[in-house]
């Protein structure tokens, strides 16, 4: 069909040309043949070329027109034609041809320079745009309101804030700072470069603002994590009678998610529905993410279920919503649904699901997800690989974690890989191995970061390695010239406190360069509980109640200390404070995997289908343990009731129910593995030691802090936790 584009077309067509076979002719060809015929304009006239160029819709004919034009010399005398050719070339993806034409004809006419700059900017060739602009500048060719918007666009895309600022100076120097298009481009550039305050200054001085500018500012605030200001601007925009479009709606949804504002999330959703934006997949996905970030997973699920078309982002948004809000079981169920859907899980999905398994301590499902990843030949990047190691360690399978770690990753281990493995050893109480890995890491030339030190200090703490921990803390400052963070101090206080060095811990807090936070005081309070030091505990608690007045866990911990020393009056006072502030003890929850299913138990749970059998088993176990010499430790029962009642309350702790369920259901010899969301209590800890001895059963409990491996009457934590 390109045969039609021969030079013969540039001569007046004969009458026969009207009888051209129309169906075989592309519409635009038909158009200009028509044009020639009826207007009888000479093709030796630039106006005819102009028409030809306008109707040309692909590269080949464009090249032919260009070569015909070259013979006429029109291009040199008519920059309009040259500009059209440049624009067309870049539109059809041949910026090289556009550039060589430009180089041949550019001269000092800013019109052609602007055309080439725009051509580059429109196809995203930012470097070329900026390079051309600087050549233009050097040659003294004046930039104008047709130059700046495109140069600023390139700066915005590349986040070149200094480049953008120097363009801004140029804009002011040349007097284009009140041009609406230039102003809009400046606002957009500053917003995208994260210089939102500079953007705001330009925005505030604008005489006329369109929606594009409002959107740029609203998005800019949201991207700069200044969600509240983003929403204030939205309401100002609405006051000016402008309606948020779908692009703005996405930013607003994200801002509301950042703020976790449940009420506003509903009104954003309503706005989106009212304006019919939900058909837009990006908007619909942003609504799911918004609800998920607000913690309203139910609403996220409803929004998800209502979508006619879903993509990977829709699934991943809901999955991470479940995972981040502690609904790990729901996340795993959703993953199963995704696997049989038309959308295939991607590495992001895998990362979310592997992390959910780690959170839940669900080894069986974790293994399944791992083999799914491997069998599906999914690309395992280092982040996912680290998450897999972490999952095995957190699910109690330290051996597989070590194996995966030792096998290595194709792009090598990064500092997070080492951190994950060190922390894995730490939570299982293998302090020496953690220290060994810490030195191996340095031998291999990997520089430890502040997280590494947190991991190693807590590993020392869990293993009671006081001297080694002290040395690491010293090295941190002297060898690595790093300032210890508050987290490092918290780890040190924990390490010293657990080992009974309460005074040293207290002195360390006193010498901290910044104010101690709740983590530091919490560690001291925990140590006071272990060593039954009510006086120092009171001091720590006073600070905690000031810093975190709403955190019920600290009240409970202090109550435990009072209860242990029979100060029931103080326990009662604290209970009153909790009541008046509407604080509740966080609900304990333990899970156990049995036959590919996760069974969960709350304290004194009566919702499990087999709760009566479980209760009976718990009572039998209690008798067996008593006969073996276990004395119930009632110090952690807050109620001032008779000892016998306290024992009764202890029996139905969530972790005891889960372990009893395991003993009831699982074959002999199979270790029982339970995950608890809070710290394991003293009585349960002691009870599990007895059960492991009496029943010759390995029991593994992962609590909020670490792993406890109970075997033959001992625990791997050596009673440090
Ligand atoms: Zn307990
Ligand atoms: Zn233990």
CB contact at 8 A, 105 and 98: no
Give the number of other CB atoms < 10 A from CB of residue 487: 17
Rg of the chain over all Cα atoms, to the nearest angstrom: 35
> So what's the pLDDT on residue 14?
34
Residue showing tokens 């934006």: 277
Q: What is the mean pLDDT of the chain?
A: 86
Distance 299 CA to ligand 2 centre (A): 40
Distance 302 CA to ligand 2 centre (A): 42
Nearest-ligand number for the alpha carbon of 652: 1
Distance 178 CA to ligand 1 centre (A): 71
CA angle 506, 512, 516 (to 5 degrees): 75
Q: How far is CA 445 from CA 74, 289, 402, 413, 448, in A?
A: 66, 40, 20, 11, 9
Distance 683 CA to ligand 1 centre (A): 5
Nearest-ligand number for the alpha carbon of 708: 2
Distance 682 CA to ligand 1 centre (A): 6
Residue showing tokens 């700059």: 117
Distance 700 CA to ligand 1 centre (A): 15
Instruction: Classify burial at 551, counting beta carbons within 10 Å of its beta carbon; exposed 0-12, middle 13-18, buried 19 or more.
Output: middle
Residue showing tokens 């590349």: 158
Q: How far is CA 14 from CA 40, 247, 612, in A?
A: 11, 54, 100
Distance 669 CA to ligand 1 centre (A): 24
- Whole-number Å distance between alpha carbons of 491 and 526: 12
Q: Which two tokens stand for residue 416?
A: 């997070």
Distance 629 CA to ligand 2 centre (A): 18
Tell which residue, 496, 412, 402, 486, has the closest CA to residue 450: 486
Tell which residue, 297, 302, 303, has the closest CA to residue 272: 303
Packing angle of the helix pair 126-138, 148-158 (nearest 10 deg): 130
Instruction: Classify burial at 69, counting beta carbons within 10 Å of its beta carbon; exposed 0-12, middle 13-18, buried 19 or more.
Output: buried
CB contact at 8 A, 487 and 519: yes
Distance 679 CA to ligand 1 centre (A): 9
> So what's the pLDDT on residue 553?
83
Packing angle of the helix pair 312-324, 297-305 (nearest 10 deg): 160
Distance 578 CA to ligand 2 centre (A): 29
Q: How far is CA 455 from CA 166, 441, 498, 621, in A?
A: 45, 13, 17, 37
Tell which residue, 708, 710, 713, has the closest CA to residue 693: 713
DSSP calls for 510-554: HT-SS---HHHHHHHHHHHHHTT-HHHHHHHHHHHHHH-TT-HHH
CB contact at 8 A, 106 and 116: yes
Distance 368 CA to ligand 2 centre (A): 29
DSSP calls for 21-81: -GGGS-HHHHHHHHHHHHH---TTSHHHHHHHHHH--SHHHHHHHHHHHHHHTHHHH-HHH
Q: Which two tokens stand for residue 360?
A: 């839940």
- Whole-number Å distance between alpha carbons of 248 and 283: 10
**537-560 per-position pLDDT tens digit:** 999 999 999 998 888 888 888 888
- Chain centroid to CA 23: 55
Distance 659 CA to ligand 2 centre (A): 15
For residue 520, give every residue at least 6 positions away whose Cβ sits within 8 Å of its Cβ, in sequence order, or none.
Answer: 486, 489, 490, 493, 509, 512
The backbone torsions φ and ψ at residue 298, rounded to the nearest 5 degrees and listed phi first, read -65, -50
Q: Hey, where are the domains in the chain?
A: 1-105, 508-586, 589-715
Tell which residue, 716, 674, 468, has the closest CA to residue 588: 674
Nearest-ligand number for the alpha carbon of 676: 1
Distance 704 CA to ligand 1 centre (A): 13
For residue 643, give every residue at least 6 positions away whose Cβ sits within 8 Å of its Cβ, in sequence order, or none.
Answer: 634
Q: Please state the three-class secondary structure of 88-153 as a single string.
A: HHHHCCCHHHHHHHHHHHCCCCHHHHHHHHHHHHHCCCHHHHHHHHHHHHHCCCCCCCCCHHHHHH
Distance 690 CA to ligand 2 centre (A): 12
Nearest-ligand number for the alpha carbon of 705: 2
Distance 717 CA to ligand 2 centre (A): 4
DSSP calls for 359-399: HHT-HHHHHHHHHHHHHTT----HHHHHHHHHHHHHTT-HH
Distance 642 CA to ligand 1 centre (A): 17
Distance 153 CA to ligand 1 centre (A): 62
For residue 595, give every residue at least 6 positions away whose Cβ sits within 8 Å of its Cβ, in sequence order, or none.
Answer: none
Tell which residue, 581, 583, 582, 602, has the closest CA to residue 591: 602
Distance 719 CA to ligand 2 centre (A): 5
Neighbours of ion ligand 1 (CB under 5 A): 653, 681, 683-684
Distance 690 CA to ligand 1 centre (A): 14
- Chain centroid to CA 435: 30
Q: Which residues of the chain have pLDDT under 50?
A: 1-43
Q: pTM of the predicted model, to two decimals?
A: 0.69
Tell which residue, 520, 515, 492, 516, has the closest CA to residue 504: 492
Strands 699-702 and 597-602: unpaired
Sign of CA dihedral 138, 143, 146, 150: positive
- Whole-number Å distance between alpha carbons of 600 and 172: 66
CB contact at 8 A, 100 and 90: no
Nearest-ligand number for the alpha carbon of 603: 1
Distance 585 CA to ligand 2 centre (A): 23
DSSP state of 344: P
Give the number of other CB atoms < 10 A from CB of residue 655: 28
- Whole-number Å distance between alpha carbons of 690 and 626: 9
- Whole-number Å distance between alpha carbons of 160 and 154: 8
């Amino acid at each position: 069909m390109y045969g039609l584009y021969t030079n013969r077309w540039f001569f007046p067509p004969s009458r026969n040309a009207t009888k051209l076979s129309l169906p075989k002719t592309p519409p635009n060809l038909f158009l200009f043949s028509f044009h020639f015929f009826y207007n009888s304009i000479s093709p030796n006239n630039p106006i005819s070329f102009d028409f030809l160029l306008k109707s040309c819709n692909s590269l080949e004919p464009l090249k032919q027109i260009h070569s015909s034009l070259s013979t006429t010399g029109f291009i040199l005398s008519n920059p309009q034609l040259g500009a059209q050719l440049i624009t067309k070339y870049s539109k059809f993806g041949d910026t090289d041809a556009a550039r060589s034409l430009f180089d041949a004809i550019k001269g000092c006419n800013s019109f052609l320079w602007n055309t080439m700059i725009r051509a580059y900017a429109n196809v995203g060739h930012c470097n070329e745009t900026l390079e051309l602009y600087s050549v233009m500048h050097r040659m003294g060719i004046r930039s104008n309101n047709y130059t700046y918007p495109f140069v600023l666009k390139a700066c915005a895309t590349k986040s070149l804030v200094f480049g953008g600022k120097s363009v801004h100076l140029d804009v002011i120097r040349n007097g284009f700072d009140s041009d609406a298009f230039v102003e809009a481009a400046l606002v957009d550039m500053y917003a995208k470069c994260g210089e939102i305050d500079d953007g705001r200054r330009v925005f505030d001085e604008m005489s006329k603002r369109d929606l594009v500018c409002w959107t740029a500012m609203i998005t800019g605030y949201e991207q700069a994590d200044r969600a509240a200001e983003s929403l204030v601007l939205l309401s100002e925009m609405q006051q000016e009678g402008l309606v948020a479009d779908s692009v703005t709606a996405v930013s607003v949804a994200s801002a509301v998610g950042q703020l976790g504002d449940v009420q506003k999330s509903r009104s954003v959703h309503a706005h989106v529905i009212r304006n019919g934006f939900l058909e837009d997949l990006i908007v619909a996905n942003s609504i799911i993410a918004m609800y998920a970030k607000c913690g309203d997973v139910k609403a996220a699920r409803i929004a998800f279920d209502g979508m006619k078309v879903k993509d990977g982002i829709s699934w991943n948004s809901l999955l991470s919503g479940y995972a981040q809000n502690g609904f790990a079981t729901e996340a795993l169920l959703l993953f199963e649904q995704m696997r049989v859907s038309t959308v295939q899980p991607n590495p992001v999905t895998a990362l979310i699901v592997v992390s959910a398994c780690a959170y839940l301590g669900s080894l069986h499902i974790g293994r399944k997800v791992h083999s799914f990843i491997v069998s599906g030949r999914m690309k395992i990047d280092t982040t996912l690989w680290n998450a897999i190691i972490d999952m095995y360690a957190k699910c109690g399978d330290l051996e597989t974690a070590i194996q995966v770690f030792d096998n290595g990753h194709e792009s090598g281990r990064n500092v997070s890989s080492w951190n994950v493995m060190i922390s894995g050893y730490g939570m299982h109480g293998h302090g020496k191995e953690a220290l060994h890995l810490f030195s191996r890491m340095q031998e291999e030339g990997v520089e430890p970061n502040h997280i590494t030190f947190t991991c190693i200090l807590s590993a020392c703490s869990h293993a009671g390695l006081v001297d080694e921990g002290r040395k690491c803390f010293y090295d941190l400052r002297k060898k690595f010239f790093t300032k210890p963070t508050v987290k490092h101090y918290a780890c040190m206080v924990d390490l010293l406190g657990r080992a009974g060095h309460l005074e040293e811990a207290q002195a360390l807090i006193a010498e901290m360069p910044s104010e101690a936070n709740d983590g530091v005081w919490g560690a001291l309070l925990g140590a006071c509980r272990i060593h039954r030091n009510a006086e120092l505990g009171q001091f720590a608690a006073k600070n905690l109640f000031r810093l975190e007045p709403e955190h019920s866990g600290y009240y409970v911990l202090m109550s435990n200390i009072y209860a242990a020393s029979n100060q029931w009056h103080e326990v009662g006072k604290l209970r009153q404070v909790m009541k008046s502030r509407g604080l509740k003890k966080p609900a304990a929850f333990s899970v156990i995997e049995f036959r590919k299913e996760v069974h969960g138990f709350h304290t004194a749970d009566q919702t499990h289908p087999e709760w009566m059998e479980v209760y009976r088993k718990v009572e039998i176990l209690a008798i067996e343990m008593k006969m073996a010499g276990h004395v119930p430790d009632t110090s952690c029962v807050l109620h001032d009731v008779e000892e016998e009642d306290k024992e009764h309350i202890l029996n139905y702790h969530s972790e005891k129910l889960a372990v009893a369920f395991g003993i009831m259901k699982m074959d002999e010899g199979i270790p029982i593995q339970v995950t608890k969301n809070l710290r394991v209590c003293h009585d349960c800890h002691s009870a599990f030691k007895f059960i492991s001895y009496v029943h010759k059963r390995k029991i593994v409990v992962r609590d909020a802090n670490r792993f406890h491996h109970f075997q033959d009457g001992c625990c791997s934590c050596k009673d440090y936790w």
